[in-house]
């Protein structure tokens, strides 16, 4: 913009600058030169002003009503979560640690391996049950006249041969009233981990026992899958 004043000619320039506005004012006065020509003498000044509504720090004003509303909502959510926790415990649904769901965290399928048979090789008919930890399992029972050492060795070799590493086993002895010592109980336990040693796995436990001298041996086999956590 140009303008004329009694003292000088004005030139005003306004432009955007750094998020605000910048104005520059030039004032030119006329003076006579020795040759009679006019010489322009300029003086200028400038300033910048922030855009309305934008502070230097961009800080948003505190909303007390919104703060109270958010606080009350958090308190209500926490109370609801606590009541849910109590209700789950009463119903036996104990809280589990929260992890992102992934197939490798789930327990393996609850199935009876076809190779898990009697000592003499015949098939078993398992039934489903639930243990004290509310984990489902399959279990089969039978009676054998084979020596307990033969039962022990058979299942230890069978589990190891089919990818179930035997990590715990025992073969115990007992003594009768007449002083005769013979095997009275024992077990073989192995696990299979499809992913890694800390991940989900399936445990097979074979236990065997008898109460009297030369009695047949009760054999119990249980298959239990476990999740990662």
- Boundary of a domain, candidates 33, 50, 67: 50
Say yes or no: 188 and 112 in one domain.
yes
Stretch (H or E) spanning 83: helix 64-90
- CB-based contact 99:105 (threshold 8 Å): yes
**Distances 76 to 68, 69, 89 between C-alpha atoms, Å:** 12, 11, 20
pLDDT score at 29: 66
Rounded to 5°, the CA angle 164-185-140 comes to 55
Say yes or no: 34 and 144 in one domain.
no
Q: Is the predicted pLDDT of residue 220 greater than 90, yes or no?
A: yes
Say yes or no: 109 and 221 in one domain.
yes
Q: What percent of the chain has pLDDT over 70?
A: 74
Find the CATH number of the domain harbouring 165.
3.40.1000
**How many domains is the chain built from?**
2
pLDDT score at 77: 84
Q: Is the predicted pLDDT of residue 32 greater than 70, yes or no?
A: no
- CB-based contact 190:204 (threshold 8 Å): yes
Tell me: the pLDDT tens digits for 158-201? 999 999 999 999 998 765 545 566 778 899 999 999 888 888 99
Q: Which domain holds residue 130?
A: 103-226
Tell me: the pLDDT tens digits for 53-107? 444 444 456 677 887 888 788 888 888 877 887 787 777 665 554 445 566 688 9
| Burial grade of 80 (CB within 10 A; 0-12, 13-18, 19 or more) | exposed
Alpha-carbon gap, residue 145 to 161, rounded angstroms: 24
């Amino acid at each position: 913009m140009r303008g004329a004043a009694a003292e000088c000619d004005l030139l005003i320039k306004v432009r955007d600058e750094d998020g605000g506005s910048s104005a520059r004012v030039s004032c030119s006065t006329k003076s006579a030169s020795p040759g009679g020509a006019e010489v322009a003498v300029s003086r200028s000044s400038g300033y910048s002003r922030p855009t309305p509504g934008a502070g230097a720090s961009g800080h948003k004003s505190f909303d007390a009503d919104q703060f109270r509303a958010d606080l009350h909502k958090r308190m209500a959510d926490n109370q609801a979560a606590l009541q849910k926790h109590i209700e789950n415990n009463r119903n036996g649904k104990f809280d589990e640690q929260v992890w992102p769901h992934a197939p490798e965290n789930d327990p393996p399928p609850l199935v009876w391996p076809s190779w898990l048979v009697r000592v003499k090789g015949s098939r078993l008919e398992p039934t489903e049950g639930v243990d004290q930890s509310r984990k489902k399992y399959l279990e089969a029972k039978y009676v054998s006249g084979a020596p307990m050492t033969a039962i022990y060795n058979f299942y230890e070799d069978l589990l190891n041969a089919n990818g179930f590493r035997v990590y715990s086993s025992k073969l115990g002895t007992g003594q009768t009233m007449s002083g005769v010592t013979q095997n009275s109980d024992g077990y073989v336990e192995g696990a299979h981990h499809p992913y890694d040693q800390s991940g989900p796995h399936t445990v097979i436990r074979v236990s065997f026992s008898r109460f009297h001298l030369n009695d047949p041996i009760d054999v119990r086999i249980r298959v239990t899958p476990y999740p990662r956590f």
